[in-house]
């Protein structure tokens, strides 16, 4: 029989791994979000290839450019849209509040969500690339595959963090999807995800460069170009990705909440900053 003094916390790494397993189990039981992350980009790849069968991009066959571009679109769906909708749903249905009453730290919960987004992204990118190789004569540029993986991982982490940060300002479930798509789609359009803009206006280029989608998408696309011999993301792009990630972490740390309902600022209740292990409703 254990005494009360002998109580000790479960190791953090086990909590985080348990959450990854839990989120993956949810993914398998309710695969809608998982399918959308793959089906939409796959459909787009096929449609765009059919519409523009011989249109070259930057000297490459269209599918050679579009395949990694649709992989970037997969990341946006799996790590941004799905994270926003599923986390807001979990919060508004009271699932997060129930978890808040347990010893589970917020970071472990987020680690589980991240693990789920990572696995979905890897599978989705695998399906897209396999389709491109099998049906559209896409060649994998093996010497740049590490760059592709690194750029994709940066995108997964950055989009996930921004998605988790955005949940803090989404007031209720039925606004989650419009906010997610309403912010993601315009950025994707100007960031070389759906088509390559050869000579964009300077202001549009500057605008796209200020957000992390363009550097990630372009680095992934460049990794499928046989001419690429070095890390394809410029330093300015890397700093944008890291800067947005850091800002998102700050927002999560200050404003992540477990309770349903509008953000405290909306309710007019002041909140002192709290780190991830702190309750947003504690004194």
Partner 1 sequence: MRERPAGQVPAIVVEGLRKDYGEVRAVDGVSFQVRRGEIYALLGPNGAGKTSTVEILEGHRRRTGGSVRVLGFDPGAGDRHFRERVGIVLQSGGMDAELTVREMVSLFAGFYAWPRDAAETIEQVGLAAKCRARVRTLSGGQARRLDLALALIGDPEVLFLDEPTTGFDPNARREAWDMIAGLRRSGTTVLLTSHYLDEVQHLADRVGVMSHGHLVEESTPDALGGRDVSGTVISFRLPARLRGSDPPAGPWDQPAGPAGEFTMHTDEPTRVLLALTQWACAHHAELPGLTVTRPSLEDVYLRITGQAGIGAGDGH
Which residues make up the interface to partner 1 (CB under 8 A)?
Answer: 1-4, 6-10, 14-15, 18, 22, 25-26, 29-30, 90, 93-98, 100-105, 259, 268, 271, 274, 277-279, 281-283
Residue number, 99 or 242, with CB nearest to partner 1 = 99
Cβ atoms 154, 241 nearer than 8 A: yes
Bridge partner residues of 60 (DSSP):
57
CB closer to partner 1, 171 vs 200 = 171
Q: How far is the CB of 94 from partner 1 (least distance, A)?
A: 4
Least distance to partner 1 from the beta carbon of 19, Å?
9
Backbone angles phi, psi at 46, to 5 degrees: -65, -50
Between residues 201 and 282, which has the closer beta carbon with respect to partner 1?
282
**2 vs 202, beta carbon nearer partner 1:** 2
The tokens of 109 are what? 């919960």
Residues for the chain: how many in total?
283
Least distance from partner 1 to the Cβ atom of residue 110, Å: 15
Query: What is the closest distance, in whole angstroms, from the C-beta atom of residue 262 to partner 1 in the complex?
Result: 14
CB of 116 to partner 1, least distance (A): 13
Torsion angle defined by CA atoms of residues 138, 140, 145 and 149, in that order, rounded to the nearest 10 degrees: 40
Nearest distance from residue 85's CB to partner 1, in Å?
15
Smallest separation, CB 269 to partner 1 (Å): 8
If the CB atoms of residues 205 and 278 are measured against partner 1, the closer one turns out to be 278
Encode 46-110 in three state secondary structure: HHHHHHCCCCCECCECHHHHHHHHHHHHHHHHHHHHHHHHHHHHHHHCCHHHHHHCCCCCHHHHH
* 263 Cα distance to chain centroid: 22
CA atoms within 13 A on the CB side of 219: 27
Nearest residue (CB) to partner 1, 117 versus 187? 117
Tokens of 259: 């309770």
Q: Count CB atoms within 10 A of the CB of residue 201.
A: 9
Whichever of 97 and 205 has its CB closer to partner 1, that residue is 97
Residue 5 DSSP class? G
């Amino acid at each position: 029989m254990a005494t009360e003094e002998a109580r000790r916390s479960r190791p953090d790494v086990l909590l985080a791994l348990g959450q990854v397993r839990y989120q993956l189990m949810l993914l398998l039981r309710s695969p809608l979000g998982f399918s959308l992350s793959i089906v939409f980009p796959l459909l787009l790849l096929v449609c765009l290839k059919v519409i523009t069968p011989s249109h070259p991009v930057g000297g490459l066959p269209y599918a050679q450019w579009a395949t990694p571009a649709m992989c970037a679109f997969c990341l946006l769906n799996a790590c941004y849209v799905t994270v926003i909708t599923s986390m807001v749903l979990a919060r508004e249905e009271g699932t997060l509040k129930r978890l808040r009453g347990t010893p589970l730290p917020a970071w472990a919960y987020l680690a589980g969500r991240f693990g789920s987004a990572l696995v979905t992204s890897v599978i989705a990118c695998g399906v897209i690339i396999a389709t491109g190789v099998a049906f559209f004569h896409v060649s994998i540029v093996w010497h740049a595959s590490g760059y592709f993986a690194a750029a994709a991982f940066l995108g997964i982490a950055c989009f996930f963090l921004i998605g988790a940060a955005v949940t803090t300002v989404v007031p209720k479930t039925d606004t989650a999807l419009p906010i997610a798509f309403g912010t993601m789609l315009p950025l994707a359009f100007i960031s070389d995800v759906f088509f390559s803009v050869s000579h964009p206006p300077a202001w549009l280029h500057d605008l796209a460069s200020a957000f992390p989608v363009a550097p990630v998408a372009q680095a992934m696309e460049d990794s499928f170009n046989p001419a690429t011999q070095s890390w394809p993301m410029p330093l300015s792009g890397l700093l944008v990705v890291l800067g947005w990630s850091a800002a998102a972490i700050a927002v999560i740390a200050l404003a992540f909440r477990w309770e349903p309902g509008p953000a405290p600022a909306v309710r007019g209740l002041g909140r002192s900053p709290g780190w991830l292990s702190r309750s947003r409703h504690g004194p």
